[in-house]
Amino acid sequence: MSRRRGRSLQGQLILRLVILQSAILFALLLALGLRGDLFSYRSMDRTIEILRDALERAPSGDMRLRATAALTALRQAETGLWFVIRDAGGQRLVEGTVPPAFLRLPQALDGIGQARFGATLDSAALDSPEARMRQVTSPIGEVQILTGTESAASFGIVALGAGLIVLNVGLPMLFVTVLGIVIATPLVVRGAIAGIAKAERQARLIDIRQRGVRLDASDTSPEITSLIDAFNEALCRLDDGYDRQQLFLADAAHELRTPIAIIGTRIEGMPATPERAQLKADVGRLALLSEQLLDLERLNRDLANLAPLSLGRLAKRIIGDMAPLAFAAGYELDFATTAQDPIVKGEEAALERALASLIQNAIDHGSGRGTILIKITAPGTVEVCDDGPGIPLNERERIFEPFHRLKPRSRGTGLGLHLVRRIVDLHGGRITAGETETGGTRMTMALPAADP
């Protein structure tokens, strides 16, 4: 089943930091811009442009200013307006109170396109008057305009200034900010989730054979520690529930043995009838079920001490014990090996039960014909094959589930293969169901070899 993956925490963090830092940066630029710290909304150049557009020649040839709307608004808004206009012929047009320092300046600036005066960082000169001079082309030709009066900048100038601020200040700062976020965030996230990565590795090692394992919450942040603690508490509850379930199964199996034995004794005293035979078979199934439940409970205790043992000798002994049952059911029983006698590390009685269960399963489901082959194909690997109808592909994993049976009315209890898998798992091995060349069932039990 496919698992839907969420968005990366690192990617989300980078995106949100970029958006937040961008918003803060441009909000700061906007605030500074509105205050005029980055751009002045008043300009002497605007005054020069208004004067330039209003220039004209009187019939006498003298320079004069037309009463344009912009000039009228300037004179009304700036009562201290002053300027000096000088044409190419040396004629001057003066208005307002011109600071003495600038009265003779126009003649000295012939040939200079533009200049700014009075701007300085010297604290002693901060109160000196400022002025702006530009050589411009007016309706009466080239003129030189000098003024120290500022007027409100036009919308076009404000928009141009704002664009230049964004281009020259905002974007470089944003680039540096984003670059820092992209570089620093993975380092921060990697350090912050280091505890999660360690807990993930530990969680992958938890299985039924290692109950009681808990995730280590050391070296993790408080937020992650609370998650790991909650997970550990859930593991405790699962372990407690598993222990209670196992205890219940063991107690139930023990309690059932006595009444089953009593029923079996009473059946033996009944007349020999088909009903008696059926009851005897049913009681046998109940006895087998109780023994298998007890086997499940014994496994954890019996497998505490594993020892090296010969898998070949164990297989031959079980075949000898099971041969009469196989022959009586109409089968031939064969043994083959393609490897030297393998030595595995295990608990002998448990492995005997596992192999005997596989052979019994072949007897019960092999259709009462053909050969049941027990074969050692590799060190620690045993195959039990039959010539029966086989196991459907979609059932080959489910048959190891407790109480699962291919045929609901079959004689089995549904615990035999589950018990085999438990034994093999507790030995660190693996069991799988497959198909033979004749279409029958191949059960493969692979056990780890003993250390030399």
Quote the CA–CA distance of 146 and 143 in Å, as a whole number.
10
Residues 355 and 433 reside in one and the same domain: yes
What number is the average pLDDT over the span 18-46? 81
Q: How many helices (H) and strands (E) does the chain have?
A: 12, 16
Quote the CA–CA distance of 448 and 327 in Å, as a whole number.
32
SS3 288: helix
- Looking at the chain, the whole-number percentage of residues with pLDDT higher than 90 is 15
Domain limit, last residue, from 302, 321, 336: 302
- Give the domain extent around 51: 42-152
How many structural domains is the chain composed of? 4
Pick the closest to residue 258 from 292, 279, 277, 283 (CA basis): 283
Quote the CA–CA distance of 51 and 154 in Å, as a whole number.
15
Q: Which amino acid is at 36?
A: G
Residues 322 and 414 reside in one and the same domain: yes
**Sign of the dihedral through C-alpha 323, 326, 327, 328:** positive
**Sign of the dihedral through C-alpha 53, 59, 63, 69:** negative
- On whether residue 1 sits in a domain, the answer given is no
Identify the top-confidence range among 10-14, 252-256, 394-398. 394-398
pLDDT band at 137 (very low <50, low <70, confident <90, very high): very high
Task: Share the mean pLDDT of the chain.
Answer: 81
Residues 268 and 336 reside in one and the same domain: no
For residues 363 and 326, the answer to whether their CB atoms sit within 8 Å is: yes
What number is the average pLDDT over the span 362-386? 88
Name 367's Cβ contacts closer than 8 Å, sequence gap at least 6: 387, 388, 389
pLDDT band at 311 (very low <50, low <70, confident <90, very high): confident
Residues 34 and 94 reside in one and the same domain: no
Query: What pLDDT, on a 0 to 100 scale, did the predictor assign at position 85?
Result: 92
Residues facing residue 442 across a β-bridge: 385, 434
Residues 144 and 49 reside in one and the same domain: yes
For residues 83 and 149, the answer to whether their CB atoms sit within 8 Å is: yes
Pick the closest to residue 154 from 295, 42, 245, 297 (CA basis): 42
**pTM of this prediction exceeds 0.95:** no
Name 113's Cβ contacts closer than 8 Å, sequence gap at least 6: 134, 135
Domain limit, last residue, from 143, 168, 192: 192
Q: Are strands 63-65 and 83-87 parallel, antiparallel or unpaired?
A: unpaired
Residues 209 and 273 reside in one and the same domain: yes
> What is the 8-class DSSP label of residue 217?
-
Residue-wise pLDDT tens digits, 92-133: 899 999 888 787 777 777 778 888 887 555 545 556 788 889
